[in-house]
Chains A and B, each alone.
Chain A
Amino acid sequence: MRAVYTLARRLMGNHDDADDVAQETFVRAYQALDRYDESFAFYTWLRTIATRVAWNELAKRKRRRTSGGETFDLAAERVAGAAADPVALAAEAETRERLRRAVDALPGDFRAVVALRAFEDLSYAEIAEVLDIPIGTVMSRLSRARSLLRQAWSPHDPLPTEREP
């Protein structure tokens, strides 16, 4: 359940939409039980449903993200690792939070490929299949999304360029 919500959260970029997608995913799973192929992992099936629900919603609404309305408990984001240096941990947490917000702020079609690649470990071909877009589009969106995210991760990080030594 949390995995579905987490994916929805990453796909939609905000809590309210993620909640809607997560619920809708389970509703559709119930309604489509007949079509579940047991040779695949159950989560894989749920993931496909969640992704398509989110993707359709993004395509339908054509908007990036809602503002505000996030009711999550930030304290729950605390990261384990009590043995780590508190200063380093704080800096790392700050970077992580900055990066997370940058992912949320990506346009929906960029965010989707990042979520499926970076968090769900899907191959380019799998992403292309689940989103029903060409592999070339997956690659170009991923590349542009990563360029944007690198700026958030490290503002002085140069964009990758081709250079002669």
Chain B
Amino acid sequence: MKHVQPELDAYLDRALAPQDRARVESHLEVCGDCRTALARARDFAAALGDTRAPDPGAAYWSRFAARVETRLERHRSADPARGYERWTSWLFPRGRFAWVRAAGAVATVTLVTYIGMRGFRPESLRQVSEVVERERAPATVPNPPPGDTPPAPQVDEPSRLEAEAPGTRSVSDGVSPRSNVEVEDFRAAVDPKKVALPSTVAEETSQAAESPETSKPSVALPVERDAVESSPLEGLADKAERAAAGASSFEDARIVVEPHVAPSPSAPGLAAEEVRRQRREAQVRETLVLPERDLTYGATLRKELKARSIADPVEAFVTAAVASDTSLAAAALLRFQAEPAHAAVEAEKMRRWLVSASDRHVRGGRSDRNLAASAPPADGASLLLLYELAWPRRHSVPMRPLLEVLAARLASGATDAGLRLAARETLAWLVATSATDAERSTWQAKLDSLPE
């Protein structure tokens, strides 16, 4: 008879083929040595699963999200491919208003060339802005009638500047109302305020939200800011002055003269995608920003379920909750929610208990494990939630010890009618189902001592 000890790990891992599994099991029935080895392998697996990675401590978690944000920002600015794309995509626009943007791009290239020929002098940027206006005038007014070309703009003519300022365009400025609406839709779609994330993340998201056919927000968003503050050309002059005052670079000058042209979004598809994106981002944010939500599941839950022969996630949840093990409870809730036919009411009760436990955790500033050791959730609302979850499963063998614990807590905390009723019902059931007279009399005494 060949021993099966080398296969026991795979057997425990449920990784054997059916025929091998059957062979191992039939061997285990007749071989004491291998049964001993199996028990040893189980102990080892449990011990290994029970090892915990060291927690780096509260100070580490409090800084974690900010450090991720910093790294994200660094990735964004250091990624040469993305940088190249950002700085070149506006030169090769695509989409419905591509010709408009192309014209703006040509204007900018002309200007950059102009600066290059004259030599870059920040103090000359105010004069340069006149050139920008002259170059951009045909691009911002679609289909201008022949011979109706407006005169070259004057920098000191506010009304003219206002009319030609892309960020402040209205129906009367010669651009169709439809494109104006689209601009507004687009702005709404990329509005960082609608994405409840840290600002850098929101900007990242705004950039990523666009399809290749839409304009880049590095164009659209500054338009919006300029529109609020003043006309874009005034903003341009301000930037030119800032460039002159500070140690500006050629890159700064080029940012100043980027073409402010309306984007052309495909609004319905973008909106649907935006909704999905926001949902995903909420998940990231929730996972990232809330360190107290420890969603570690797997080994702990599996071990607990095996040890107690629990097949029902609700029972696992009550087991964890009675022990104040919020990690395990969260794991059970996740497992429960993964069941195809889970009861929404039970899930909600489990979630509420977890929220309550998490609140205490946050207030106490302690880890879940320390919370479990020192702060059992004995408040009435939590107990009632557990009672409501446990009571329908009272006939399950593993639930009885939990109901006994709950009954004792309910009885000791029965300060209101709801808790007293729950305690009475649980204690009466324990009396009725006691296996021995001694046990029955113990529960009966607790039942009798309940206040009316």
Contact = CB atoms under 8 A, between A and B. Distances in A.
Given A41-B338, A96-B47, A162 B287 contact: no
Contacts of B3: 162-165
Nearest to B7: A160
A73 interface: yes
Interface in B285-300: 287-291, 293-299
A96 B50 contact: yes
Nearest to B371: A80
A21 to B, nearest CB: 12
B56 A143 contact: no
B53 A33 contact: no
23 contacts: A2-B293, A5-B64, A23-B71, A26-B284, A29-B284, A33-B208, A33-B277, A33-B280, A43-B287, A71-B57, A72-B57, A73-B54, A76-B54, A79-B369, A80-B323, A117-B13, A120-B298, A139-B15, A143-B6, A157-B44, A160-B37, A162-B2, A165-B3
Nearest to A11: B53
Interface in B55-98: 55-57, 60-61, 64-65, 67-68, 71-72, 75
Contact of A73 (B10, B56, B205, B298): B56
Given A33-B280, A36-B280, 20 more contacts: A1-B293, A2-B55, A2-B296, A3-B295, A9-B54, A23-B64, A24-B71, A27-B71, A31-B75, A38-B279, A43-B287, A74-B54, A99-B51, A119-B49, A121-B299, A139-B15, A153-B44, A153-B47, A164-B3, A165-B33
Interface of A: 1-6, 9-10, 15, 18-19, 22-24, 26-27, 29-31, 33-34, 36, 38, 41-43, 46, 70-74, 76-82, 95-97, 99-100, 103, 114, 117-121, 123-124, 139, 142-143, 146, 149-150, 153-154, 157, 160-165
B364 to A, nearest CB: 14
B40 interface: yes
Q: Of residues B41, B45, B291, B373, which shows the largest number of chain A Cβ atoms within 10 Å of its Cβ?
A: B373
Interface of B: 1-3, 5-6, 8-10, 13-15, 31, 33, 37, 40-41, 44-45, 47-57, 60-61, 64-65, 67-68, 71-72, 75, 201, 204-205, 208, 276-277, 279-281, 283-284, 287-291, 293-299, 302, 323, 325, 334, 338, 367, 369-370, 372-373
Q: Of residues B51, B71, B281, which shows the largest number of chain A Cβ atoms within 10 Å of its Cβ?
A: B51
Contacts of B50: 96
Nearest to A135: B15
Contacts of B52: 77, 79, 96, 100
A118 B49 contact: yes
A121 B334 CA distance: 15
A96 B53 CA distance: 11
A112 B212 CA distance: 39
Contacts of A23: 64, 67-68, 71
A88 B283 CA distance: 41
Contacts of A118: 45, 48-49, 299
A9 to B, nearest CB: 4
B287 A46 contact: yes
Contacts of A31: 72, 75, 204, 208
A27 B68 contact: yes
Main secondary structure of the interface of A (DSSP, over half): helix
A33 B287 contact: no
Contacts of B372: 80
Contacts of B284: 26, 29-30, 33
Given A96-B50, A139-B10, A162-B5, A72 B373 contact: no
A29 B294 CA distance: 18
Contacts of B373: 78, 80-82
Contacts of A72: 54-57, 60
B53 A10 contact: yes
| Minimum-distance CB pairs A-B, first 8 | A73-B57, A80-B372, A9-B53, A76-B55, A72-B54, A121-B298, A160-B5, A100-B51
Contacts of A73: 54-57
A142 B45 CA distance: 12
A111 to B, nearest CB: 12
Contacts of A42: 283, 287
Contact of A6 (B14, B65, B296, B370): B296
A1 B64 contact: yes
A30 B75 CA distance: 11
A164 B33 CA distance: 11
Contacts of A82: 373
A160 B6 contact: yes
B357 to A, nearest CB: 13
A157 B68 contact: no
Contacts of A120: 298-299
Contacts of A100: 51-54
Contacts of B10: 139
A120 B295 CA distance: 12
A77 B54 contact: yes
A123 B67 CA distance: 33
A81 B371 CA distance: 11
